[in-house]
Structure 1
């Protein structure tokens, strides 16, 4: 029995992602194993797309399950005070406030073709797994936990890779964002064309709102984005059916207080897009259990309890900058 069939048995109760969602996950995993630079400007791989062995190993050890931490009343030194009075009463209020702020910012020049994008993205679960591996095992592996990455802004090789239709380079992402229309409906329609869904042959096709959310959040992960374009994206994000916002700041993987924009992934989990409450930049994402349930492997090999509030996956982007050379840090 192949790995994907076994994985479908493990997640039989969840919607099956279509080809558009599966392909980039497999490509990112292959890139990581072969030691290539991380491609951040594309569909983020779903944690469910890893091989069954990886899912079991990571879940058993890393899901020492973490409860969501809410911050109901920020102290005087909190980001909310720095950013002003945050309105988290609704997605329209929160994202509209972010858009108003971004529209007042000066648009910096587009990066040069010879520059690099530096990102630091911290993943405590992957880091824990890496550190717990015996040294002799780590030496034999072709990958390691590296929170720092450098991506060429003008990546011609990736831009000309016709085999991966879901990938967009840093430069392409910047220009796609800069050219987005003002009208939210038209903006979402454009992004659905840029990041197309599958034909349904590999699972149920995405509904329009699901597709819009995925496409927009793929571009949202790109860096840099013109502030006025990001403002248009936030206004459009607020119009997608099912999008919500927590009514308080939450703490991310590094302990920072951030805004969480949410949407259900399936009946058991939701995706949370994290936004910095000071400058409204993309700050990471995570997946949170919304309904207590069990996940059982093929033929009862392993059963894992997921409780409401458990965090299954989280990544915190703590730094992002345009630099002049690979290896350079701001």
Structure 2
């Protein structure tokens, strides 16, 4: 589970990337400044924190990862799964297979209010510790939480539940109960999630269409832990119905080196998001943002264009452990 991948090279000389590339880093930086330990990644349609632009620009090089997509054929040496041979011929086949397995699992009791949620993540952008050393102290200190792989959050966090400043964020308890209450019908399920995680008003970028909104809402909920297995099955079945959803026909390597299923959807003409799923227990395993078409973006005046190659990975985060524990600092 914790196998390390090959060392990744940082693009320290890269100019400021585009807004979509900076979005995940901007959210994590905002949480660090606020002193929160929210390790969720929000792909927002509405970014209202313009004052952080300068800091994000300084750290852009450290947050950009260059890696070529793994195209090896895992059918020759892939991991055994509890469900037998994987069917990656279509999103409906892959996600339906995952849902079938999850529906057969016993639903564990909901965590107690006094318990904590522990997660461990491998972030390709933080593999090289030199990134912090090359930043101004003020910026490095703010970014330290991003480089900490182990995180603990309260299951019952009433203060966070009452914080309405981030319409995408839900506590672990809220997410669990939202998921548990989702309807069976995929269309009704997606409609419910679009209400729970509303879209922006379009003032700071193109307004999401229905399918983009559905995919983002699903992504936000999938990042939560724990989710009841029967609820996760309903989520996967609904995800398979979203227009534009795909699945790679082979397992890919995540930031920790594991082979995982990649469920994909383009977020513009040049890039796509990949939701990673463990092929053994079908739990959420992380997320990648991948360049699908080589292109250039013009940076600020006086800088060279940002050049992206097909296969470059803009974000690569793997969740390697997740558990309910009785105290902060406890590990399973």
Q: Against the structure 1 CA distance between its residues 56 and 28, is the aligned structure 2 distance closer, same or farther, given a 3 Å change threshold?
A: closer
- C-alpha distance after superposition, 1:275-325 (max 9, x if no partner): 000000000001000010112311142332211011111100000000000
Counterpart position of 1:263: 265
Counterpart position of 1:4: none
**Quick check: 1:268–1:290 contact (8 Å CA) kept in 2?**
yes
Counterpart position of 1:125: 125
Is 1:328 paired with 2:327?
no
Counterpart position of 2:275: 273
Q: How does 1:218-229 map to 2 (within 5 A)?
A: 218-229=220-231
1:171 to 170, 173, 179: 173
User: 1:30: Cα distance to partner?
Assistant: 2.5
**Quick check: 2:65–2:312 contact (8 Å CA) kept in 1?**
no
Cα RMSD (Å): 2.9
2:285 to 283, 286, 289: 283
Counterpart position of 1:66: 67
Unaligned runs of 5+ in 1: 1-8
Q: Against the structure 1 CA distance between its residues 124 and 202, is the aligned structure 2 distance closer, same or farther, given a 3 Å change threshold?
A: closer
Residues paired across the two proteins, number? 311
Counterpart position of 1:297: 299
**Quick check: 2:82–2:281 contact (8 Å CA) kept in 1?**
no
Q: Equivalents in 1 of 2:21, 2:67: separation in Å? A: 26
Q: Equivalents in 2 of 1:111, 1:307: separation in Å? A: 44
Counterpart position of 1:43: 42
TM-score (norm 2): 0.85
User: 1:121: Cα distance to partner?
Assistant: 1.1
User: 1:198: Cα distance to partner?
Assistant: 1.8
User: 1:122: Cα distance to partner?
Assistant: 1.0
Q: Equivalents in 2 of 1:196, 1:112: separation in Å? A: 28
**Quick check: 2:65–2:125 contact (8 Å CA) kept in 1?**
no
**Quick check: 1:74–1:80 contact (8 Å CA) kept in 2?**
no
Q: Please identify, of 67-76 and 216-225, the stretch whose mean Cα deviation from structure 2 is larger.
A: 67-76
Unaligned runs of 5+ in 2: 1-15
**Quick check: 1:34–1:143 contact (8 Å CA) kept in 2?**
no
